[in-house]
Amino acid sequence: MTTEADGPQQFAQHRWQRTPDSTEIILLRHGASQPFVPGQPFPLIDGQGDPELSTVGLSQAQKSADRLKREPIDALYATSMRRTQQTVDPLAKLLELDVAIEPDLREIHLGEWEGGLLRQKAAENHPTYQRMLREERWDAIPGAETNEGFGNRCVNALEKIAERHAGQLVLCTVHGGVIGTSLARIAGSRPFAFGGADNCSVSQIVWTDGQWTIRRFNDSSHLFEQLHHA
């Protein structure tokens, strides 16, 4: 029993913790990939560009592993694309965990601009690229995946992972478009509101009782020195 001599009852603030049945997912964007050279499209996997990491990207992957190795991660996922698998590899070795492949978390299919051509069109500020940004619609690019289709497959894949790992912390190494569309769906925001996640940045979502919560977006503090000196 509390008496006046004990002083007033106090309620301190505490660090957030997930509930026992919640699933916490870290979304790690892959490191920087090889530059696109006009006339030399990237190799394709299932019709989509599949470049390897660049030297910078490999360094970013190691910096990410050095940071994330202290997290109590229970499972690792990557997509069917090489750049995500190469990014998570240093962390998998440090944690001695296998990496599961989730093909439905692969990047947006860019139709006629696959194989790296999007980068050139963006640099040229092509009218179709301008339209895509203005309308926030991927399928402004001929043959590209729709916002709805892309969002559905990404969020459905994340929900399956969340249900598979109730009460655990999972890291999924994914793509910028996947992070952007997934967080926009969760937040109910504009389609491109979460675009532009940095290479090897960390975002975080939590699945609790059938609902998502966003905890973090585009945390790249572990890359601070590289961001200023690259």
CATH of the domain at 159: 3.40.50.1240
**Burial code of 181-217, b = ≥16 C-beta within 10 A, e = fewer?**
bbbbbbeeeebbebbebebbbbbbbbbeeeebeeeeb
**d(Cα 156, Cα 178) in Å, to the nearest integer?**
12
pLDDT, residue 225, reads 63
The end-to-end CA distance of the chain, in Å, is: 61
Give Cα separations from 148 to 58, 103, 134, 155, 191 (angstroms): 32, 17, 17, 11, 10
Does residue 42 sit within a domain?
yes
Query: What pTM, to 2 d.p., does this model score?
Result: 0.92
Does 184 reside within a domain?
yes
Residue 92 lies in a domain: yes
Give the pLDDT of the chain (230 residues) as one tens digit per residue.
445 567 899 999 988 888 899 999 999 999 999 999 999 999 999 999 999 999 999 999 999 999 999 999 999 999 999 999 999 999 999 999 999 999 999 999 999 999 999 999 999 999 999 999 999 999 999 999 999 999 999 999 999 999 999 999 999 999 999 999 999 999 999 999 999 999 999 999 999 999 999 999 999 999 976 444 44
Q: CA nearest 64: which of 32, 26, 95, 90?
A: 90
Distance from C-alpha of 116 to C-alpha of 136, rounded to nearest angstrom: 20
48 found inside a domain: yes
The per-residue pLDDT for 82 is: 98
Q: What is the pLDDT of residue 4?
A: 55
Confidence (pLDDT) at 166: 97
- Structural domain harbouring 219: 19-109+146-229
Q: Is there a domain that residue 135 lies in?
A: no
Q: Does 74 fall in a domain?
A: yes
Q: How many domains does the chain have?
A: 1
Q: Which of 60, 66, 59, 54 is nearest to 93 (CA)?
A: 66
Those residues whose C-beta lies under 8 Å from the C-beta of residue 204, and which sit 6 or more positions away, are 24, 25, 26, 27, 214, 215, 216, 217, 219
Q: How far apart are CA 28 and CA 202, in angstroms?
A: 5
Confidence (pLDDT) at 49:
97
In a domain, 141, yes or no: no
Strand partners, 172: 27, 77
Helix/strand/coil for 203: strand
Find the farthest-apart pair of alpha carbons in the chain and give their distance in angstroms, rounded: 81
Query: Which phi and psi angles does 67 have, rounded to 5°?
Result: -75, -45
Residue 30: DSSP 8-state: P
What integer pLDDT is reported at residue 3 of this predicted model? 53
Q: How many Å apart are CA 105 and CA 112, to the nearest integer? A: 20
Q: Look at residue 134 and tell me if it is in a domain.
A: no
Crossing angle for the helix pair 147-164 and 176-187, nearest 10 degrees? 80
Which stretch of DSSP H or E encloses residue 131? helix 127-135
> Which residue's structure tokens are 């619609």?
137
